[in-house]
Amino acid sequence: MKIVGTIAELNALLGPKPQCAFVPTMGALHAGHANLITEASTQAKRRGFPGGCVVSVFVNPTQFEDKADLARYPRTLEADADLCKKHGATYLFAPGVDEMYPPGRPVGVPPIPESGTRPNLEDKARPGHFAGVCQVVLRLFQIVRPRVAYFGEKDWQQYQVIRAMARQQALAVEVVASPTVREPDGLALSSRNRFLSREDRKRALALVRGLKAAGRAPSPAAAEAALLTELARDGITPDYAVVRDAETLLSPTPGRPMRALVAARLGSIRLLDNLPYPNGI
Ligand code: AMP
């Protein structure tokens, strides 16, 4: 596995018509990312992509509106490289900020799909976030030019926004989601979990407990109530705790897949999780 810091070097390695599978990340890689990398490298081998599996590690400043969150975001490139290598990555693309956003050369922001502006979920809690996400993912897609790109179900709204953005931009990339990887007790893995206090780490389990309870409820309204009840038991007031259309993230309509989604702040750490509705895990 080779670590690559510049676009020019990556271009030279991938050639004029790259064929690769791609996993974009912000680093501080854990077993959730490892799962995406394993899937991408397996797919690259199966389809005989000469570019193999490309992983990017770039903490994208434009998607953070909370500059303290950006400053404390964990940066662990050496460990990330080990994990990438172990799980079959071919290239680790780790550009600096000036490489991605060259001074004096503005990088465009594509139109944000409606799933990233209308639902009043992450779009409301983090205004500007999806503009930054679409900007960096489009730029990465234009640099890496992958045939297939892997995202985690954990960031469900983000996955739907990126899928829609790729379609709107008529990019020749398949956008694929992989299941959320969890701790043995059910907490969704996140690079931010390490900052939870011991007490909040326990309370955080209310999110997955609530989503499971929601999955067993007889209607979307009952599911939202069940989710709120579980959160309240641990004194958690969520940013949102809802059942929505799985693709548009708007109110559910009969006959279409649904998703239960929750986001809550525990201390200064914001946690997200979601599961299919009905059922859960
Ligand atoms: P991040 O670097 O955390 O922004 O995430 C990079 C990719 O990993 C995104 O597609 C996330 O959805 C995905 N991801 C993060 N946590 C998990 C998890 N626990 N399970 C599966 N995928 C994840």
What is residue 46's predicted lDDT score, i.e. its pLDDT? 98
CB-defined site of ligand 1, < 6 Å? 25-26, 32-33, 35-36, 151-152, 154-155, 178, 180-181, 188-191
What is residue 279's predicted lDDT score, i.e. its pLDDT? 81
Residue with the two structure tokens 């509705």: 277
Residue with the two structure tokens 């969520």: 238
Distance CA 15, CA 10 (A): 8
From the candidates 30, 33, 87, 129, give the one annotated as an active-site residue.
Answer: 33
Distance CA 203, CA 76 (A): 27
Distance CA 116, CA 86 (A): 34
Question: Which of 30, 36, 70 is the pocket-test mutation for ligand 1 (most atoms within 8 Å of CB)?
Answer: 36
79 secondary structure, DSSP code: H
What is residue 7's predicted lDDT score, i.e. its pLDDT? 98
2 secondary structure, DSSP code: E
- Could you confirm whether 33 is annotated as catalytic? yes
Alpha carbon 229 to chain centroid, angstroms: 27
pLDDT under 50 in the chain at which residues?
none
What is residue 51's predicted lDDT score, i.e. its pLDDT? 98
For residue 128, which of 139, 117, 138, 137 has the smallest C-alpha distance? 117
Indicate the pTM of the whole model: 0.97
Q: Which amino acid is at 95?
A: P
